Structure 1
Amino acid sequence: MMAVDEVTARAPGATKETLEDYTLRFAPRTYRRWTPAVVGASALGGIAYMADFSIGAGIGLTHGTPNALLAIGVAAVIIFLTGFPLAYYAARYNIDLDLITRGSGFGYYGSVVTSVIFASFTFIFFALEGSIMAQGLKYALSLPLWLGYLVSTLAIIPLVIYGMKTLAKLQSWTNPLWLLLMVGPLAFLIVKDPDSVRRWLAHEGTSGSGLSTAAIMLGAGVCLSLMGQIGEQVDYLRFMPPRTAENRRAWWTSMIMAGPGWVVFGAVKQAIGVFMAVYILDAVGTAAAVEPIEQFTGVFTELMPPWLVVPLALVLVVLSQVKINVTNAYSGSLAWTNSFTRVTKRYPGRLVFVLVNLAIALILMEADMFSFLNSILSFYSNCAMAWVVTVATDIAINKFVLGLSPKQPEFRRGMLYAVNPVGVVSFLASSLLSISVYFGLFGETLRPYSPLVAVGIAVVLTPSLAIVTRGRFYLRRTDDGIAEPLLDEDGNPSGTHYDCVVCGQRYERPDMTASATGGTVCSLCLSTDREGLHVLPAR
C-alpha cells in the first residue's frame, strides 16, 4: 500500500489524498520497507539546520564560552532523557507524536492544543532557517532579503509534496556532502591554528560575569526551545521496520541515534557556533558573528582560494536549509491536518496545510524575526518543554512505574476520552507557571530558572494527577471489537488487513476498530464521521 492508504473519497467530509503520507494514521508495515539504518540516516538528515550555530553563538557571545558550554550540556541531557520514551514509542508502534500524545495523558481532543504547539514550532524554525538562507543569498548573490525569504519558501514546496519516500532519498543523498563541508574545514582550521581553541575557551562574553548559574540557565532555556525537534525525528522514526531478533541491534542503534541522539549532534553544532563566532568576532563584529554565512565564510577564508570561499559557504547554507525545511514543512502540515480534521471532522488533505505553514513562516521572515531570535526561543521553550516532558513522564512513570496509563498506545476515536485531565492540566500548569516565571512575575531572581519550572512541574504533576484520578480517564473502551490482538507474537503491530466499511479500502489491524453499524472502520473514516454512526459506545 502506498498512497491508496489515504484514499477516503467515499468517506463523509474526506477528500481523496493523492500524495504519499500517513497523516492521521498508523504507518503500515507494508509501507515500511526501509532498513533501520536508512530510517535513522534520513532522520538525522533533518537536523542539518543552521539555527544551532546561531543559537550557540548568541549564548557564547553574551555569557561567555564556559557558561555557554555548560548551558548546552544541561539542555542536551534534559532533551535526551525526555526524548527517549517518545522516540521508542514512535519506532516501536509506528505512530507520530500527536498520536502518541493522545494516549499519553491528553485524550482524543485534548492533544489538539499540543498539535498547534508543534505546528508553531515548525513554522518558527522554518522562518529561522529561511532567514539564514536569505542571508546567504544576500551575501553571495546580493539578493534583497525580502526576495531571499520568498525564494527560500517557494523552493521547498516541490520537495515536500511527496512525503517520506522523497524525504528519505533527499536526506540520504545529501548527508555526505553536508558533513564534508561542515566538519572538514573546521578540523583543518584547528590543526592549522591550535591557539584558536584557547581563545574560544577563554572568551568571557559581553556580560563578563564569569561562571554564573543564572547565565547557564538563561542559555539552557534558549537551547531547550529545540526540545520540540523530537517531534520531527518521530515523523521519520514511525517508519521503522518491525523489530526482530535479526535486526534488534541495528533497530536499537538507529532509534537511539536518530531519536534522542539528535541532541548530541545539535549540542556539538551549538558549541561549534560559539567557536566560529569567537574566531571571526574581531573581523565582523558582534551582530554579524551570529550569522552562519559569516561564520563559515570566515572559516573557509583561512583554508582555500578566495574565489572558492563564498560559493562553498553558500552551497553549505542552502543545502542545510533545504534539508531541515523540507522536514519543517512536512511535519507542520501533519500537525495542522491532525488538529483540523479532529475539530471539524473534515479532511482537506495535507497539501493545503503545507501551504498554510509556509505562508505563516514567510510572514515571520518578512517581519525580521531573526533579529530577536533568542527572545522568541526562550519564550517558546516553556510551552515545548511542558508538552514533551508531560508526555515523556506519562510514558516513563505512569505507564511503566505506576501502571496507571495503558502501556499499549491508543489513538483511535471512540477508544479514548475526549479530554484526559492528567496530561492537559499538567501541560497547562507547567506552561503558565514557567511563562510567568520567564516574564518576571515571581521576581527577577527566579526568571532564569523558568526552564526548570517547566520541567519540574510536568514531572511532578503528571504522575500526581494520574494517582488522583486513578487512571480512569485514559481509556473510554478497553475492547475495540476486533478479536485479533493489535500486536503479533514479537510485540510488533499486526500486519493483518481488514476492509473499511466506509471507504472500502484495506488497512492493517492497528488502524481499525469495529464499527457500531457492523464490520470494521479505519481511523481516518472514524475521525471524519460527523454523525458518530461508527463510533463504538463507551464501555
Structure 2
Amino acid sequence: MSQDIQSSQIGTEPPVGGQPAAVGAANETLEDYTLRFAPRSYRKWSPGVVGVTALGGIAYLADFAIGANIGISYGTTNALWGILVFAVVIFLTGIPVAYYAARYNMDLDLITRGSGFGYYGSVVTNVIYATFTFIFFALEGSIMAQGLELGLGIPLWLGYAVSTLIIFPLVVYGMSLLSKLQLWTTPLWLLLMVAPFVYLLVSHPDSVGQFFAYQGEEGNGTPSLGATMLAAGVCLSLIAQIAEQIDYLRFMPPKTPENKRRWWAATLLAGPGWVIFGAIKQVIGLFLAVYLIANVAGGAETANEPVRQFVQIYTDIMPAWLALTLAVILVVISQIKINVTNAYSGSLAWTNSFTRVTRRYPGRLVFLGVNLLIALILMEANMFDFLNTILGFYANCGMAWIVVVATDIAVNKYLLKLSPMRPEFRRGMLYAINPVGFGSMIVAAGLSIVCFFGGLGSGLQPFSPLVAIVLAVVLPPVLAVATRGRYYLRRTDDGIDVPMDDELGNPSGEVLHCHVCGQDLERPDMTACVAHDAHVCSLCLSTDRTGEHVLPAQR
C-alpha cells in the first residue's frame, strides 16, 4: 500500500536551529508519513484498495482464544451477549474516528491531540496504544509458540523467542513490505480458517445444539447481566484495534462527488466494520472450543488454544500429518500477519511519544526492539494463563481513550461547536494539555480500574466497562462547556495565507518548502516559522529543542 521513496528524493539542506534530529526523522519516516499528516501526492490508491488492505490486518487468532476463554468462563449465552455488546460499542465509537482519519488523513495520535487532549496530553494515549500492541503481540506470539510446540516439538520458551525474533527483520522495511505480506497471504488464511467451521456445521449438525446449551466450566452459565459485562470487558480490550485500522485509512484518497459512495463504504467497512469480522471469529473460537470439550477426550484442557482447535477438526477431514501441517501453517501465517502490524505500530507509538517529550529522534528501530522485548517478557511469564485478567484490566484504559475521542468529535465538534472541526496537531497551535479530553480520560480510566478491582464494591465490579463508557461519554461535553472550549487552540492563525482545504473540503495539496529539513511538504503539515521568513513542517517543530521556530501564543 505504499510506494518506495528513494533517498535521492530527500532534501539534504543543512538543519537550522540546532535540530539534526529533524533531518534524521524525516529521512526515516518520510515513506510512511508515520509521524505526520499523509499528503495527497502520496495517496494514490482507490478506496477499495485501501479498505481491503486495512482488513488484511485482522487475521489474528487472538479472537478465537478470547471467544473460547469467555465462553468457558461464563457459558455460551453470556459470552454471545458479551460479544454483541463489544461489537456495538466498538462500531459506534469507531465511526467518528475512522471518518476523521480518512477525511483528514491523520493517524489516531494526531486526531487525539486536537480532539480534547492537547499536544503533550495525547502522549499518555500513545502509551496506552503501545501497551495494546505488545499485549497482543505477546498473545499472538504465545499462540504461534503453541503451534511450533505441537508441530515441530519446539519447547514453549524457545517458541516464544522464535515468534518474536522472526518479526524483527520483517518490520524493518515498514509498510512497503507489510502491505504486500497482507495481500499475498490473505486467500490461504481465509481458506484454512473457514474450512473447519463449515465442516462441523455440515457433518456434525448436533454441534450447534451443544454450542447453545454449554454452561461453562463451572456449569454456572445462566444468563446474567454481570457475567455478560465481564465477558464484554474482555472483548472490549480490542477497542484500540481501530488505531491500527486507521494506520491504513489515513491513506484514503480525497472524497469527491464521484467516489463518495465507495469512499464511505471503504471507510465504514475497514474502520468500525473490522469488529464485525472480529465478533464472528470470537463466536467461531467459542464454537470450536465447545465442540472439543463435548466430543474429544481431554479436549477441555486445550480447548482455548486455536492451534489445537484446528488440528482436531482438520484430523477429521484428512490424514493426521497433513492436518498438523496445515494447522501450523495457519497459525504461523496468522501470527506473522498481525504481529508485523503490532510490532510496527507499537514502535511508531513509542517513537512518537519519545520524540515529542524529549525532542530527540532515536530512530524507530530502537523502540521496535523495546516493544518486542516487553512482549517476549510477557510470553515467558506465561500471560496466556491469566488472559482474561490482563485484557479486562486493559479494556478500561483503551475504552476511556477511544470513547473520549469519539465523543469529542461527535458531540463537542458537531453538536456543541466548542471543539474545532478540523483536528489540529501541530506544535505551537495547541496547548500542552487540554483538560477536556485528558481529564475525562484520566477520570474514566481511573474509576473504571478501581471498579474492576472491586474498589467500588463487589456489586459494581462486573460493570467496570460501563463505568469507563459512561464517564467517557458524559465528561467531555461537561468539561468543554465548563471551560468554554478555550483550551483547544493556542493559536487560530498559523501564519500562512494559503487555504488548508480545497473547494471540496479535502486537505489542500499545495506544496510548501520546509527550511529546516529541506522537504517539500503539503500545506496542512506546515506553519510559519517565527524566527525566519519561511515555513517549517510539523516534524521539525516536534524536534525543535530550543523552540525558536514555534509560533507564540496568540493574544
- Above 0.5 in TM-score? yes
Distance (whole Å) between structure 1 residues aligned to residue 6 and residue 72 of structure 2 = 49
* Amino acid paired to 2:523: R
Runs of 4+ in 1 over 6 A off after TM superposition: 5-9
Q: What's the TM-score, normalizing by structure 2?
A: 0.95
Partner in structure 1 of residue 146 of structure 2: 135
Q: Is the 8 Å Cα contact of residues 82 and 389 (structure 1) preserved in structure 2?
A: yes
How far apart are 1:29 and its partner, in Å?
A: 1.6
Distance (whole Å) between structure 2 residues aligned to residue 283 and residue 80 of structure 1 = 39
Distance (whole Å) between structure 1 residues aligned to residue 491 and residue 301 of structure 2 = 57
Find the partner of 2:98 among 62, 87, 99: 87
Greater CA drift, 520-529 or 301-310: 301-310
How far apart are 1:59 and its partner, in Å?
A: 0.8
How far apart are 1:6 and its partner, in Å?
A: 7.6
Distance (whole Å) between structure 1 residues aligned to residue 317 and residue 299 of structure 2 = 21
Q: Is the 8 Å Cα contact of residues 141 and 335 (structure 2) preserved in structure 1?
A: yes
Partner in structure 2 of residue 316 of structure 1: 330
Q: 5 Å matches for 1:408-427?
A: 408-427=422-441
Distance (whole Å) between structure 1 residues aligned to residue 435 and residue 459 of structure 2 = 32
Distance (whole Å) between structure 1 residues aligned to residue 271 and residue 301 of structure 2 = 33
Q: Is the 8 Å Cα contact of residues 61 and 286 (structure 1) preserved in structure 2?
A: no
Partner in structure 2 of residue 524 of structure 1: 539
Partner in structure 2 of residue 303 of structure 1: 317
Find the partner of 1:476 among 467, 487, 490: 490
* Amino acid paired to 2:111: I
Partner in structure 2 of residue 38 of structure 1: 49
Q: 5 Å matches for 1:505-520?
A: 505-517=519-531, 518-520=533-535
Partner in structure 1 of residue 374 of structure 2: 360
Which SS does the other structure have where 2:512 is aligned?
strand
CA-to-aligned-CA distance 1:362-408 (integer Å, 9 cap, x gap): 11111111111111000010000000101010001000010000011
Q: Is the 8 Å Cα contact of residues 136 and 318 (structure 1) preserved in structure 2?
A: yes
Find the partner of 1:244 among 242, 247, 256: 256
Q: Is the 8 Å Cα contact of residues 47 and 252 (structure 2) preserved in structure 1?
A: yes
How far apart are 1:338 and its partner, in Å?
A: 0.9
How far apart are 1:12 and its partner, in Å?
A: 3.5
Partner in structure 2 of residue 173 of structure 1: 184
Partner in structure 1 of residue 390 of structure 2: 376
Partner in structure 2 of residue 67 of structure 1: 78
Find the partner of 2:245 among 206, 219, 233: 233
Greater CA drift, 275-284 or 320-329: 275-284
How far apart are 1:79 and its partner, in Å?
A: 0.7
* Amino acid paired to 1:528: T
How far apart are 1:304 and its partner, in Å?
A: 1.7
Which SS does the other structure have where 1:384 is aligned?
helix
Partner in structure 1 of residue 451 of structure 2: 437
Partner in structure 1 of residue 511 of structure 2: 497
* Amino acid paired to 2:424: E
Find the partner of 1:13 among 21, 36, 44: 21
Q: 5 Å matches for 1:253-268?
A: 253-268=265-280
Find the partner of 2:340 among 326, 329, 335: 326
Which SS does the other structure have where 1:283 is aligned?
coil
Partner in structure 2 of residue 78 of structure 1: 89
Distance (whole Å) between structure 1 residues aligned to residue 544 and residue 316 of structure 2 = 63
Q: 5 Å matches for 1:268-283?
A: 268-281=280-293, 282-283=296-297
Q: Is the 8 Å Cα contact of residues 430 and 491 (structure 2) preserved in structure 1?
A: yes
Q: Is the 8 Å Cα contact of residues 396 and 449 (structure 2) preserved in structure 1?
A: yes
Partner in structure 2 of residue 446 of structure 1: 460
* Amino acid paired to 1:328: N
Distance (whole Å) between structure 1 residues aligned to residue 291 and residue 217 of structure 2 = 15
Cα root mean square deviation, aligned: 1.4
* Amino acid paired to 2:387: L
Q: Could you tell me which runs of 5 or more consecutive residues in structure 2 were left unpaired when the two chains were aligned.
A: none
How far apart are 1:184 and its partner, in Å?
A: 2.2
Q: Is the 8 Å Cα contact of residues 10 and 519 (structure 2) preserved in structure 1?
A: no
Partner in structure 1 of residue 402 of structure 2: 388
Q: Is the 8 Å Cα contact of residues 200 and 279 (structure 1) preserved in structure 2?
A: yes
Which SS does the other structure have where 2:317 is aligned?
coil
Which SS does the other structure have where 1:64 is aligned?
helix
Q: Is the 8 Å Cα contact of residues 11 and 518 (structure 2) preserved in structure 1?
A: no
Partner in structure 2 of residue 110 of structure 1: 121
Distance (whole Å) between structure 1 residues aligned to residue 471 and residue 149 of structure 2 = 44
Q: 5 Å matches for 1:456-467?
A: 456-467=470-481
Change beyond 3 A, Cα 1:286–1:372: same
1:536 and 2:544 matched: no
Find the partner of 2:175 among 164, 168, 181: 164
CA-to-aligned-CA distance 1:8-30 (integer Å, 9 cap, x gap): 87343332534632221001122
Greater CA drift, 246-255 or 289-298: 246-255
Q: 5 Å matches for 1:38-57?
A: 38-57=49-68
Distance (whole Å) between structure 2 residues aligned to residue 284 and residue 292 of structure 1 = 15
CA-to-aligned-CA distance 1:430-468 (integer Å, 9 cap, x gap): 011001111101111110000000000110011100000
* Amino acid paired to 1:495: G
Change beyond 3 A, Cα 1:94–1:42: same
Which SS does the other structure have where 1:498 is aligned?
strand
Greater CA drift, 367-376 or 351-360: 351-360
Which SS does the other structure have where 1:254 is aligned?
helix
User: How many residues are treated as equivalent by the alignment?
Assistant: 539
Q: Is the 8 Å Cα contact of residues 329 and 358 (structure 1) preserved in structure 2?
A: yes
Distance (whole Å) between structure 1 residues aligned to residue 83 and residue 10 of structure 2 = 41
Change beyond 3 A, Cα 1:289–1:428: same
CA-to-aligned-CA distance 1:142-195 (integer Å, 9 cap, x gap): 001111111111111122122222222111111111111111231122111111
Distance (whole Å) between structure 2 residues aligned to residue 98 and residue 212 of structure 1 = 37
Distance (whole Å) between structure 2 residues aligned to residue 137 and residue 228 of structure 1 = 28
Distance (whole Å) between structure 2 residues aligned to residue 370 and residue 506 of structure 1 = 48
CA-to-aligned-CA distance 1:56-94 (integer Å, 9 cap, x gap): 001111111111101000111001101111111111111
Q: Is the 8 Å Cα contact of residues 123 and 360 (structure 1) preserved in structure 2?
A: yes
Distance (whole Å) between structure 1 residues aligned to residue 101 and residue 507 of structure 2 = 12
* Amino acid paired to 2:508: S
Instruction: Percent identity, please.
Output: 66
Q: Is the 8 Å Cα contact of residues 12 and 530 (structure 1) preserved in structure 2?
A: no
CA-to-aligned-CA distance 1:123-143 (integer Å, 9 cap, x gap): 110010001000000000000
Partner in structure 1 of residue 5 of structure 2: 2
Distance (whole Å) between structure 1 residues aligned to residue 10 and residue 410 of structure 2 = 32
1:405 and 2:419 matched: yes
How far apart are 1:37 and its partner, in Å?
A: 1.5
Q: Is the 8 Å Cα contact of residues 137 and 148 (structure 1) preserved in structure 2?
A: yes
Distance (whole Å) between structure 1 residues aligned to residue 540 and residue 397 of structure 2 = 31
1:488 and 2:496 matched: no
Find the partner of 2:161 among 150, 157, 172: 150
Greater CA drift, 170-179 or 16-25: 16-25
Change beyond 3 A, Cα 1:104–1:7: farther
Which SS does the other structure have where 2:318 is aligned?
coil
Which SS does the other structure have where 1:13 is aligned?
helix
Q: Is the 8 Å Cα contact of residues 292 and 300 (structure 2) preserved in structure 1?
A: no
